[in-house]
């Protein structure tokens, strides 16, 4: 795993976009970052870069992995506004869904909390070295650890708050509409995708996938379909949208090693699914 000096996974890039370059950022949480993948090149952005390197384009296509563990629409849109815009993107691809539906509504509303010395320490590290990924990864690990301890202590099943879903979806649409409108003004395209999760499509789940589905994912899968309906509405303001919830339907082997993280083959499948709408944006932009 390589983290460059700008805080992105992968090779070094320059802040100033090189001449004759079409720059793509793929943004999302740990599934974009590539948690559990075998290398930088077997992430979704890694597979996309390989495909573009093997094809002939009048410009160099540069794909940058801007995924950060535990990020969701609030933190992702802030990242675009406060950092990515300075890198002069031509296209931003959003790979979203899981973190938005699971993240507590208090975080969606931007409310902060301080619960322990560990929380304070991680926050201080983020302020000192905001581009360094380790504090963000530590926060994600800490959240998982808290959840596991809570489950063990209460011996209870995962409980999902469905009442907050309408508010979460409203915020999700508003945030990405805002970014898509920003893209129209600043000259970059925005493609919003909805990621596949265990149980989101018609895939015959493997034994391992079914364990995670029964334990956690089934509690909110009906609500997740509402994001699919909201996705079509974003097509009015964004360059393009793509519903990837059914991307794994033709595969019977284990693709998801938990509720949403995938083995390397899963990232390659997603990259292939994204390719057609990305190519359309590239060819349209290069012709201008």
pLDDT in tens, the chain (288 residues): 899 999 999 999 999 999 999 999 999 999 999 998 989 999 999 999 999 998 888 899 999 999 999 999 999 999 999 999 999 999 999 999 999 999 999 989 875 443 444 445 445 545 545 555 555 555 555 555 455 444 444 445 678 889 999 999 999 999 999 999 999 999 999 999 999 999 999 999 999 999 999 999 999 999 999 999 999 999 999 999 999 999 999 999 999 999 999 999 999 999 999 999 999 999 887 765
What is the predicted pLDDT for the residue at 252? 95
What is the predicted pLDDT for the residue at 58? 87
What is the predicted pLDDT for the residue at 204? 97
What is the predicted pLDDT for the residue at 150? 46
Rounded CA gap, 268 and 262, in Å?
Answer: 10
Please, are residues 71 and 33 in contact by the beta-carbon 8 Å criterion? no
What is the predicted pLDDT for the residue at 212? 94
Domain locations along the chain: 21-112+162-287
What is the predicted pLDDT for the residue at 160? 87
Given the DSSP bridges, would you call strands 91-96 and 60-67 parallel, antiparallel or unpaired? unpaired
Q: pLDDT, tens digit, for every residue of 38-48?
A: 899 999 999 99
Give pTM, 2 decimals: 0.86
What is the predicted pLDDT for the residue at 288? 58
What is the predicted pLDDT for the residue at 185? 97
Q: What's 21-112+162-287's CATH class?
A: alpha beta
Q: pLDDT, tens digit, for every residue of 93-130?
A: 999 999 999 999 998 987 544 344 444 544 554 554 55
């Amino acid at each position: 795993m390589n983290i460059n000096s700008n805080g992105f996974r992968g090779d070094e890039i320059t802040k100033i976009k090189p001449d004759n370059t079409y720059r793509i950022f793929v943004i999302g949480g740990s599934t974009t970052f590539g948690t559990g993948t075998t290398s930088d090149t077997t992430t979704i952005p890694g597979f996309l870069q390989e495909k573009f390197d093997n094809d002939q384009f009048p410009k160099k296509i540069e794909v940058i992995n801007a995924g950060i563990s535990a990020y969701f629409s609030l933190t992702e849109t802030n990242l675009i506004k406060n950092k990515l815009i300075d890198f002069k993107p031509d296209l931003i691809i959003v790979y979203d869904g899981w973190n938005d539906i699971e993240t507590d509504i208090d975080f969606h509303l931007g409310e902060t909390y301080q619960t322990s010395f560990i929380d304070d320490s991680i926050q201080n590290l983020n302020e000192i070295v905001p581009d360094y990924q380790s504090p963000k990864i530590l926060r994600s690990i800490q959240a998982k650890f808290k959840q596991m301890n809570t489950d063990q202590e209460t011996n209870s099943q995962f409980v999902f708050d469905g009442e907050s879903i309408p508010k979460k979806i409203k915020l999700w649409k508003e945030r990405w509409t805002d970014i898509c409108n920003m893209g129209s003004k600043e000259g970059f395209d925005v493609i919003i995708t909805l990621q596949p999760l265990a149980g989101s499509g018609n895939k015959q789940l493997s034994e391992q996938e079914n364990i995670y589905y029964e334990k956690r994912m089934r509690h909110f899968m009906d609500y997740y379909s509402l994001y699919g309906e909201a996705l079509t509405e974003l097509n009015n303001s964004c360059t393009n949208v793509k519903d990837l919830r059914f991307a794994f339907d033709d595969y019977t082997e284990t693709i998801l090693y938990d509720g949403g993280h995938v083995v390397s083959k899963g990232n390659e499948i997603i990259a292939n699914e994204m390719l057609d709408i990305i190519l359309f944006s590239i060819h349209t932009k290069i012709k201008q």
